[in-house]
Amino acid sequence: MSDPRLAIIPGRFDKVKRIIAVSSGKGGVGKSMVAVALALALRDKGRVVGLLDLDFTSPSTHVILGVEGLVPHEERGITPPVTHGLHYMSIVHYSTDEPVPLRGADASNAIIELLAITRWEALDYLIIDMPPGIGDATLDMIRLIPRIEFLVVTTPSRLAYESVRKLLVLLRDQKVPTIGVLENIAMEHTEYIEAETRKTGARYVGRIDFDASVEASIGHPKELEKTKLFKRLQAIISSL
Ligand SMILES: Nc1ncnc2c1ncn2[C@@H]1O[C@H](COP(=O)(O)OP(=O)(O)OP(=O)(O)O)[C@@H](O)[C@H]1O
Ligand SMILES: [Mg+2]
């Protein structure tokens, strides 16, 4: 029997103009930081923005935003609370920051449940902070979310890029719109990522340098907005 929730999900995004998953084949490359900064930068441009933290086992966006104890409104579904001007949904609203250990099928089930119950307002952008890797969450999102686009984050390392390349090939084969590859935490400027990205046919979106002020900004979005990472991202989004 088919899962009735699957029929509900596409309609939940009817009022959302663009849905951008910030993703990577690799962990620790700055997906969460980029997702939050991107959401804030778009908000600053006057856009109506949602942020969805889909990293159920290790959510980070609430830490970057410095928020806790938010309570979604429930009425024929869940309306995400608004914080820092962002319509914000995270498993943390329900898990009180305790570990949420989920095996494959359960993780999929949790994603389906969250997507089925969440009622997004009319948004210009929904930014999704994805868990690391090319696992179930990535495949579920491709399968379930209409019009989803991927912004792929890597570091300059070949180790990061090897897994990113696999993600790019997957997205290309599945015909999923891909905004491009964002190189983050660059310590020196090499052409490696740009050259390799172009070989896959994907767009190289730009480079964000290592920025020592990012760490101190965690929990303080106003400080995050003063970082070079944020300013660089502001420049990059004008071309998204
Ligand atoms: N441009 C940057 N300069 C300096 N530090 C950065 C930069 N981008 C991200 N970081 C730092 O790198 C670390 C990893 O970032 P983040 O948690 O956003 O990565 P992630 O890809 O979401 O990780 P995970 O795969 O675990 O979800 C964090 O400590 C973050 O503050
Ligand atoms: Mg993360």
Question: Quick one: pLDDT at residue 14?
Answer: 96
The verdict on the CB of residue 55 being under 6 Å from ligand 1 is yes
Q: Identify the residue whose tokens are 């329900």.
A: 94
Q: Which ligand places an atom closest to the C-alpha of 135?
A: 1
Query: What total of structural domains would you count in the chain?
Result: 1
Nearest to residue 124, comparing CAs of 64, 38, 206, 203?
38
Quick one: average pLDDT of 20-47? 97
* Contact assessment for residue 88 and residue 80, using Cβ atoms and an 8 Å cutoff: yes
Residue 239 in this model has a pLDDT that exceeds 80 = no
The verdict on the CB of residue 204 being under 6 Å from ligand 1 is no
Domain range spanning residue 126? Answer: 4-237
Quick one: average pLDDT of 6-24? 96
- Distance, CA of 32 to CA of 230 (rounded, Å): 13
The verdict on the CB of residue 227 being under 6 Å from ligand 1 is no
Nearest CA owner, ligand 1 atom 31: 215
Ligand 1 atom nearest to CA at 27: 25
Question: Quick one: pLDDT at residue 119?
Answer: 96
Quick one: average pLDDT of 91-104? 76
Ligand 1 atom nearest to CA at 212: 4
Residue 236 in this model has a pLDDT that exceeds 70 = yes
- Longest CA–CA separation in the chain, Å: 54
| CATH number of domain containing 35 | 3.40.50.300
* Contact assessment for residue 129 and residue 30, using Cβ atoms and an 8 Å cutoff: no
Quick one: average pLDDT of 113-123? 95
Residue 1 in this model has a pLDDT that exceeds 60 = no
User: Higher confidence at residue 14 or residue 146?
Assistant: 14
- Distance, CA of 125 to CA of 73 (rounded, Å): 21
- pTM comes to 0.96
How far CA 209 is from CA of 16, 50, 76, 174, 186, in Å, comes to 31, 26, 44, 31, 4
